[in-house]
Amino acid sequence: MKRLLFAFFLVAASVFSVNAQAEKDIRAAIGHVTVYPDRAQVSHEAKTDIPAGTAVLRLTGLSPYIDARSIQVKGFGNFMVLSVTHRNNYLLNLDESPDVKNIRSQIESLQMKVQDEKAGISVLKEKEAFLTANRSIASRESALTPDQFRNFMELYTNSMEQVTLAILKKERLIKDYERQISALQKQLAGIIGKRELPSGEILVTVSSEKAHSGRLTFSYVVMNAGWYPSYDIRVDDISKPVTIFYKANVFQNSGVEWKDVKLSFSNATPWVSGNVPVLYPWFIDYYVPPAVVLTGRASGISRITAPAVSEMAVEDAMLMKETETLPVEVEKQIGATTVTFDIAIPYSVPSDGKIQTVELQRITTPAEYKYVTVPKISPLAYLTSEISDWARQSLIGGEATLYFENTYVGSSYLNVNQLTDTLTVSLGNDNSILVKREKREDFTSRRVLGANKTETYSFLITIRNNKANPVKISVLDQVPVSSQSGINVQVTELSGGRHNQQTGEIKWALEIKPEETKQLILTWSVRYPRDRTIILD
């Protein structure tokens, strides 16, 4: 039995030794990365010596987030690729960040400062207690003259003020130190988390009749990476063309840095959105009071609080340079269903999840400018640009930063999901166009006549052009649309506007000269049975 076990272990050891000698580690830097919206395809190339017989070549130091189904390996040379396997090696972690030691040193230094400040506070507390005790003794001491007592209280007050302020200062320092420690600890936790990631490996089994040099290419898809488009839209003047800066925002947290690699960006299906206020049909019906439901021991009226509107502070205006730098050279390849942008120069993208921006193309194209305002919703006039032949530019829907007359005016969304030859781009609001909508109280009334009740509403819309050139503007408003035969809506005054009977939209197309003011009147009424209720305000 002992001889049998000894023979078994001897054979197993010899087989392990042969396999260990047959395995060969190879390393290949990342040469090219094609980035998709939610993943990336990584490519390597390695030149290596292929031994005679069967051997296993192991590519290490890869991302642990590889999609094993996407792995492609190609061999070039007088050998055969027998099999390809993938695994994560938990015994071999990815390279550690050299900043860990520095961060730990900073944390220790800040913790020592916190200890020093707390020790100082303890001493000041003792001094405070000493002053308080002496004040109690002095207040009970009858031998003190009024002047002596006054001098003592003045000394006590000054000393207590100094002690209190010193304690307050040290407590503020401690809070600041603890805030810095917390930030450093979060940073350290992120770095340590990366360090504990396993190393991805691709094992390639090859066979060759004799030893010689060969070449292998590797390609695979990793997660935790992607890109999204954004735009800078610049208009110097509404008499000049619009310039669109098409940018790719790339990010990755795959665990492996992309160092000096060639990047390509592949497009994707755009998503739908909008930004200019839209008037939806306004259907009215009879009002039915809700039933009161009693709960618990008391009843009441619940109130829904409208969400608070947050105001974003706009940064100071930034003037564009007179002579701008040229963009990076990009080659655009248009396929049957996709468009790919190949960047000419190498880029480095660290595995930290932070955004890096790469300019893909710069488009200068003629445009027709129009203003749109919806005074019922917003007292602002929005400048829009209509661009022809936009489909040739291979644009994708994305966020846009707007610059008008060399000034940052806000952000918008470039919606390319339009089934027209003309692309409408919102360029934000223009404060030089003033819009006001107010109710004409003298022409607004509620009357009861017979079995019916009639409510009449009238509004005055004022638009003023403070610009030095004429503008075209579309003014949108609406009247309610009846959904019951007993409710009758009648428009009595439009000031030349067009009324869409089905949606209730009212539209005026105006051209306003410089420093000119135009006024529009919209009056409409609703007649319905007097025993019913309709909410119109």
Share the mean pLDDT of the chain: 80
Q: What angle do CA 177, 181, 186 make, to 5 degrees?
A: 150
Q: Is the model's pLDDT at 424 over the cut of 90? A: no
What would the pLDDT profile of 331-361 be if each residue is shown by its tens digit? 877 766 677 888 888 999 988 888 999 988 8
Distance CA 524, CA 529 (A): 17
In this structure, the answer to whether residues 121 and 158 fall within a common structural domain is yes
Q: Give the residue carrying structure tokens 């420093």.
A: 515
Cβ 232 vs Cβ 362: under 8 Å: no
Q: Is the model's pLDDT at 503 over the cut of 60? A: yes
Specify if 172 maps to a domain: yes
In this structure, the answer to whether residues 163 and 149 fall within a common structural domain is yes
Distance CA 415, CA 396 (A): 8
In this structure, the answer to whether residues 40 and 112 fall within a common structural domain is no
Pairing of strands 481-482, 242-252: unpaired
Q: Is the model's pLDDT at 73 over the cut of 70? A: yes
In this structure, the answer to whether residues 88 and 209 fall within a common structural domain is yes
Q: Is this model's pTM higher than 0.75 or not?
A: no
In this structure, the answer to whether residues 73 and 204 fall within a common structural domain is yes
Specify if 51 maps to a domain: yes
Find the mean pLDDT for residues 300-305.
Answer: 34
In this structure, the answer to whether residues 205 and 66 fall within a common structural domain is yes
Q: Tally the domains of the chain.
A: 2
Specify if 365 maps to a domain: no
With H, G, I as helix, E, B as strand and everything else as coil, classify residue 517.
Answer: strand
In this structure, the answer to whether residues 85 and 156 fall within a common structural domain is no
What would the pLDDT profile of 454-496 be if each residue is shown by its tens digit? 999 999 999 999 988 899 999 999 999 998 889 999 999 999 9
Specify if 177 maps to a domain: yes
In this structure, the answer to whether residues 154 and 181 fall within a common structural domain is yes
Q: Is the model's pLDDT at 261 over the cut of 60? A: yes
Among the three residues 153, 178, 213, which one is the final residue of a domain in this structure?
Answer: 213
In this structure, the answer to whether residues 58 and 188 fall within a common structural domain is no
pLDDT at 312: 36
In this structure, the answer to whether residues 147 and 189 fall within a common structural domain is yes
What would the pLDDT profile of 14-25 be if each residue is shown by its tens digit? 434 434 446 788
Greater confidence (484 vs 195) lies with 484
Q: Is the model's pLDDT at 136 over the cut of 60? A: yes
In this structure, the answer to whether residues 90 and 114 fall within a common structural domain is no
Specify if 222 maps to a domain: no
Distance CA 478, CA 476 (A): 7
In this structure, the answer to whether residues 73 and 117 fall within a common structural domain is no
> Domain limits at 58?
19-94+197-213
